[in-house]
Amino acid sequence: MSQSGTLVLIMTIAVLAPLLAYGIGRWLPVPLAIFEILLGVLVGPDVLGWAGDGQVIDTLSDLGLAMLIFLAGYEIEFDKVRGDTLKRSLAAWGTSLAVALGVATLLSGWSKGVYVGTALTSTALGTVLPVLRDAGELRSRFGSVMMAFGAVGEFGPIIAMALLLSGRSPGRSAAVLAAFALLTAGAVWWAMRPRPPWFSRVIARTLHSSAQFAVRLVVLLLAAMLGISGALGLDILLGAFAAGLLTRLVLHGAAPESADTVLEKVEAMGFGFLVPVFFVVTGIEFDLDALLSGGRALLLLPVFLLLFVLIRGLPVYVLAPPDLVRRDRRALTLFASTALPLVVAITTIGVDDGILATDEAAALVGAAMVSVLVFPLAGLRLRGERTPAERAVRQTESW
């Protein structure tokens, strides 16, 4: 099938997936991304063979992943993600990284273990946040704690990728990261400066017109940070995350009354187009044959799934804030153990570098897909089921 035909098929899946999620959600609230991935697998080369890849599709998929990480960075509220909770989040992720690298290296050697170990420390914050938002938990105490642990679980592996998977020496990698940090700090300083009065007026006046100044500015910030990270030889996800943080500072500092509306427009562009493309393409490119044919890969899948909980989740459970009750700590463990976007990115790098075998990558990505299906659902069950009216009340009270 041509790339244009594949794109039509991808967008058809993007429309069909919410309908399936809505229909099944009355009995089982399955995350939307699962339907997008599974339908992608269905139309991919290993099942029906209707869809393929190509440069245009791959570029749109990369932009979808960048947008997912950007929106995760934007959602971080600095007044909540700090202090003791932030320290606990950093300690939990640092423990996970040390244990993951040790276990993975012991089992498969350093060259392969560094890819597997880094993947095991990730948290799919961009995937978890919509689930929490839909459940009315995003602005609760549990949601703010999850945001802190999830932000570190999203940002930490990106830093680790830059240091460990770049192919550069540790010293050179550290120097490049320091240069990126200085540029980001300069951008933060610019973002926090008071904007002239005309700036907020232009945002307000063009918010519902064809000019869309604020949306175009957001896209410019994202493109600029992606360009900077790419020019320095860093993964673009680092730039996407930093762009999300910067965008929040700019909008909430210069035009707080318009910030929520601007975010809704950017989310419409992201969740309405780019992000579904990423998840569907993830399914299309998933090597189902490698997972099912060898036997070893299929056995590795539950092992990796268990390691997500033990390596990423257990330190989160131990270091969670003491005010969380045991039920909430267990739910936090499951949400923090949910992984997918960065696992896809890391395994792709590993396969391209000739370090990871395709069946090992398929097992790791398959385990991440199962984590997205099982862990958020189980976490919500632990938090307690609520009716839609109760969720609305809880969301209103949290504001």
How many CB atoms are located within 10 Å of the residue 395 CB? Answer: 17
- Are 237 and 345 within 8 A, CB to CB? yes
pLDDT at 332 over 50: yes
Q: Tell me what the pLDDT averaged over the chain comes to.
A: 88
- pLDDT for res 14: 96
Taking the C-alpha atoms of residue 201 and residue 260, their distance in angstroms, rounded to an integer, is: 16
pLDDT at 94 over 90: yes
Arithmetic mean of pLDDT, 292-306: 88
Q: How many residues does the chain have?
A: 399
Arithmetic mean of pLDDT, 346-352: 89
pLDDT digits 0-9 by tens, 260-273: 999 999 999 999 99
pLDDT digits 0-9 by tens, 131-141: 888 788 878 88
Arithmetic mean of pLDDT, 40-65: 91
Taking the C-alpha atoms of residue 52 and residue 55, their distance in angstroms, rounded to an integer, is: 11
How sure is the predictor about 165, in pLDDT bands with cuts at 50, 70 and 90? confident
How sure is the predictor about 79, in pLDDT bands with cuts at 50, 70 and 90? low
Most confident region among 5-19, 40-54, 170-184, 224-238 by mean pLDDT? 5-19
Query: Residues of the chain with pLDDT > 70: what percent?
Result: 95
> 3-state secondary structure string, 71-94?
HHHHHCCCCCCCHHHHHHHHHHHH
H helix count then E strand count, the chain: 20, 0
- pLDDT for res 125: 87
Domains of the chain as residue ranges with CATH: 78-274+300-398 (1.20.1530.20)
- pLDDT for res 80: 67
Arithmetic mean of pLDDT, 147-156: 91
Arithmetic mean of pLDDT, 117-145: 87
pLDDT digits 0-9 by tens, 356-379: 998 899 999 999 999 998 999 899
Residue type, 180: F
Residue 51: left if φ>0, alpha if ψ -120 to 50, beta else—which one? beta
Query: Which ranges in 26-54 belong to alpha helices (H)?
Result: 32-43
| Among 90, 92, 94, residue whose Cα is nearest residue 81 | 90
